Chain A
Amino acid sequence: MSAQEAAAHAPAEHQTSTGLDNVKLAMWAFLGSECLFFGSLISTYLLYRNRVLDGPRPHEIYDIPYTSVSSFVLLMSSVTMVLALAAIQRGDHRGLRIWLLATAMLGTVFIGGQVYEFTAFVEEGLKLSTSTFGSAFFVMTGFHGAHVTVGIFMLLSLVGMSMFGRLSDADGPRKVELIGLYWHFVDIVWIVIFTVVYLIPTN
């Protein structure tokens, strides 16, 4: 094998101009884009949170203790995600699957909590069509929930890939780290939403 052929066959991560991994860099770029996405949604909410017409006001309807608990659940899922990455980095695939499933489960609990919260709000008279506050709230938190749901699918896919041995090669930890980046980002967005939307009082 000539040197040229050897270079052509070397794994991509050794060839990049910056030494950084292509896929990881791409995920960072995508998350940068997502910041603007959620930034626009949160800005819309801040503009509209006091425009309630005859519908409920934010502080009349939010159940802060309840949402605090589900926020805590989502935050803990970041811890289990870190443990999943640590597991595969030391070659512990059983540990990887356990922690990935734990992460997915915590995410599912959070989504379940959100579904319950939405249902409760609708029963109390806040719908998408009730007021601009309703529209802004449901669309913003709904898109966050959709992101968490996509994340759960990706975590479960990782579990499946691990069971079929597709994460056993040298590239495995990188794949887990990539999904981890996404998962942590979605968590951070929730920290912002929880603070800005639930904790800051409205008039």
Chain B
Amino acid sequence: MATVVAPRRGIFARPTGATGWLSWVTTVDHKRIGIMYCVTAFAFFIIGGLEALLIRAQLAQPNGEVLSAEAYNQFFTMHGITMIFLVVMPMGVGLMNYLIPLMIGARDVAFPRLNAFSYWVFLLGGLFIYSSFFLGGAPDGGWFGYAPLSTQLPGDGMTFYSLGLQILGVASLAGAVNFIITIINMRAPGMTLMRMPVFVWMSLVTTFLLLFAMPVIAVALFQLMFDRVYEANFFRPSAGGDPLLWQHLFWLFGHPEVYIMILPAMGIVSDVLPTFARKPIFGYAAIVFAGIAIGFMGWGVWAHHMFAAGLGPVANSAFALSTMFIAVPTGVKIFNWIGTLWGGAIRITTPFLFAVGFVAMFIIGGLSGVSHSIVPHDQQQTDTYYIVAHFHYVLFGGAIFGLVAGFYYWWPKVFGYLLSEALGKLHFWLMFIGFNLAFAPMHILGLQGMPRRYYTYPDGMGWNFWNLISTLGGFVIALSFVVFIVNVIRSHKKREEAGDDPWDGRTLEWSIPSPPPEYNFARVPVVQARDDWWHKKYVETPEGEPTRVFAGGANGDDAHGSEEDAGHGIHMPDPSYFPLVASFGLPIMGYGVIFQPVLIGVGALILMLGLFGWVLEPSAEEAH
């Protein structure tokens, strides 16, 4: 019956191939889209990393001559934009894509084609921004784009910035809507909210932050665009424009953005640590509510980025207090992780090392963050390398360590083979040492008064030694990722089969084959407990020790019994061309704003035709 797929005719016929490049271009499978997100983000990570190395090479010695001032401005701006919008966010979204349906027992996300649209818009948005290098110069006003500098910089760089981030925002917004609905509405029977893995919870908070933060930056970016291209006055002080408006709108987005980047990593760590401590997460409800609290409080702290802007003592005090308060739920999480490790039967694996590295580095970054909440202190630190040290400790020491922990942890699930533990641990130690060499000295440099964003510094300031160490650390980090790439290539050749559940995991994704079949679950699981898969594998002895239950035992529901012949009746959403077609409209409109107004119409037409095709193509249900 359902296996016999009727041939579909007409211009809106949907592609059907399951292999080859076309099947990737037209895919709507959340697992393939997740892989594409992560691969693309990793490619951008290499580019952003090379930019960082150029910056560090320039600053290795006083009066460096590796980069000109103009090139330096472009590289530090693009490094920030790349790492935030094209690396950390999409890597988090990639893991969400792959894992959320598996973790909640769903066969796909709520809107598979919208999901593909998000990916293509993200990719094209990233390429759009990078194309500025070949079209007259990249953005050079910092990732924060402070007006009126950003409205007055010559060239098209900051116009590319305003439009490129706008395009990426569309991808984020579509993704946010998709995942909110997926998590709220697509859970397997019995998967109540308080049984969801912590990663899913943190993803839910993240997507709500995206939903409400993206429109704010969208307005700010539109205003910047109108100022630059159409002679509006939003940020023109001579016409009464208020530069503080930009700062408020930007940081009203920008601070939730910080949590958008860190919460997925916190979720990853909250799932990795219990697996390798062989204990449930300590204080599940506390860690979940702490995440929700961060989500709410993250909206009330933005002006701590503006303590030096002269908002006045009342505003400064209020935001200082709210900033101190938000450290509380964050601290709760840290105690949750430590409590999870306490008394656990710990196995020191690569993902475990990265997860513990996350906790340790995030504590340092969190503490320097709390020091910024003290206004007089912050006014000393603003625009120095102390700030650079702080946000690299939370975004590299935090987010990137967490994401890499996730890569090592779920790699066997995604590709079916294990990564080398020896090379993985080498990767960890190189990255850990290199990271601290690169960024710990920046605390000292900042306290010594070295300003951010300057392309060079004179001799005799006492900054030479630590800058050299920092540059050395940067190259050690680069080496650690060479080890990672070697690890991937060698492990891929060796193909050490992982099996379904190599880490003795706790959550639903480990109950299905590696790599998972297209339909994920041959039979939609019925969830009976938090850490459901663990409880299907183990029961507790009277002494409180876990004892293995064999298939068909007390709680075993024989999940694999009929794997071979299962799955034939499951119809998955068909691939589609239209998400890709529609996504091309946006960058074309962007080029139109910068170069040739006619292109705006062309892009809008492509977008509209893509959406019409999207709506009119036969849906999976109608085909039967």
Interface residues of A (CB under 8 A from B): 1-2, 4-5, 7-9, 11, 15-18, 20, 22, 25-26, 29-30, 32-34, 36-37, 40-41, 44, 47-48, 51, 53, 128-132, 134-136, 138-139, 143, 153, 157, 161, 166
The CA-CA distance from A12 to B285 in the complex, in Å, is 31
Among B215, B219, B226, B523, point to the contact of A128 (Cβ < 8 A): B226
Q: Smallest CB-CB separation from A32: which chain B residue? A: B211
What residues of A have a CB within 8 angstroms of the CB of B523 in the complex? 4
Most chain-A CB neighbours within 10 Å: which of B180, B184, B242, B249? B184
* Docked complex: B153-186 residues within 8 A CB-CB of A: 173, 176-178, 180-181, 184-186
What residues of A have a CB within 8 angstroms of the CB of B111 in the complex? 22, 26
The CA-CA distance from A102 to B240 in the complex, in Å, is 43
Among A11, A37, A44, point to the contact of B223 (Cβ < 8 A): A44
Among B2, B233, B242, B524, point to the contact of A47 (Cβ < 8 A): B242
State the interface size on chain B (CB cutoff 8 A): 51
What residues of B have a CB within 8 angstroms of the CB of A1 in the complex? 1, 569
Is A9 a contact partner of B2 (Cβ separation < 8 A)? Answer: yes
Is B233 a contact partner of A135 (Cβ separation < 8 A)? Answer: yes
The CA-CA distance from A141 to B159 in the complex, in Å, is 23
A43: min CB distance to chain B, Å: 8
What residues of A have a CB within 8 angstroms of the CB of B185 in the complex? 16-18, 20, 22, 25
Given A29-B176, A134-B232, 5 more contacts at CB 8 Å?
A26-B181, A51-B240, A53-B239, A129-B230, A132-B241
Q: Smallest CB-CB separation from A10: which chain B residue? A: B621
B296 within 8 A of A: no
Is B233 a contact partner of A134 (Cβ separation < 8 A)? Answer: yes
The CA-CA distance from A157 to B615 in the complex, in Å, is 10
Q: Smallest CB-CB separation from B572: which chain A residue? A: A8
B208: min CB distance to chain A, Å: 9
User: Given A4-B569, A128-B230, is A18 in contact with B216 using a C-beta cutoff of 8 Å?
Assistant: no
B457 within 8 A of A: no
**Majority secondary structure, A binding face:** helix
Is A41 a contact partner of B180 (Cβ separation < 8 A)? Answer: no
Is A11 a contact partner of B621 (Cβ separation < 8 A)? Answer: yes
Among B181, B230, B239, B570, point to the contact of A25 (Cβ < 8 A): B181
The CA-CA distance from A56 to B589 in the complex, in Å, is 33
Is A22 a contact partner of B240 (Cβ separation < 8 A)? Answer: no
B497 within 8 A of A: no
The CA-CA distance from A90 to B158 in the complex, in Å, is 54
Is A18 a contact partner of B184 (Cβ separation < 8 A)? Answer: yes
What would 22 A/B residue contacts be, using CB atoms closer than 8 Å?
A1-B1, A5-B2, A8-B571, A17-B184, A29-B181, A32-B212, A33-B176, A33-B177, A44-B234, A48-B241, A129-B233, A132-B233, A132-B242, A134-B233, A135-B227, A135-B233, A139-B222, A139-B232, A139-B234, A143-B222, A161-B615, A166-B616
Among B2, B240, B615, point to the contact of A132 (Cβ < 8 A): B240
A11: min CB distance to chain B, Å: 7
B187 within 8 A of A: yes
What residues of B have a CB within 8 angstroms of the CB of A135 in the complex? 223, 226-227, 232-234, 241
B582: min CB distance to chain A, Å: 14
Is A47 a contact partner of B245 (Cβ separation < 8 A)? Answer: yes
**Chain B positions 200 through 235: 1 when the CB is less than 8 Å from some CB of chain A, otherwise 0:** 000000000001111110111011001100111110
What residues of A have a CB within 8 angstroms of the CB of B186 in the complex? 15-17, 22
B522: min CB distance to chain A, Å: 9
The CA-CA distance from A136 to B245 in the complex, in Å, is 12
Q: Smallest CB-CB separation from A25: which chain B residue? A: B181
Is B571 a contact partner of A132 (Cβ separation < 8 A)? Answer: no
B624 within 8 A of A: yes
What residues of A have a CB within 8 angstroms of the CB of B184 in the complex? 17-18, 25
**Chain B positions 549 through 581: 1 when the CB is less than 8 Å from some CB of chain A, otherwise 0:** 000000000000000000001110000000000
The CA-CA distance from A54 to B324 in the complex, in Å, is 45
B261 within 8 A of A: no
Among A8, A129, A136, point to the contact of B569 (Cβ < 8 A): A8
Q: Smallest CB-CB separation from B214: which chain A residue? A: A33
Is A129 a contact partner of B223 (Cβ separation < 8 A)? Answer: no
Is A36 a contact partner of B226 (Cβ separation < 8 A)? Answer: no
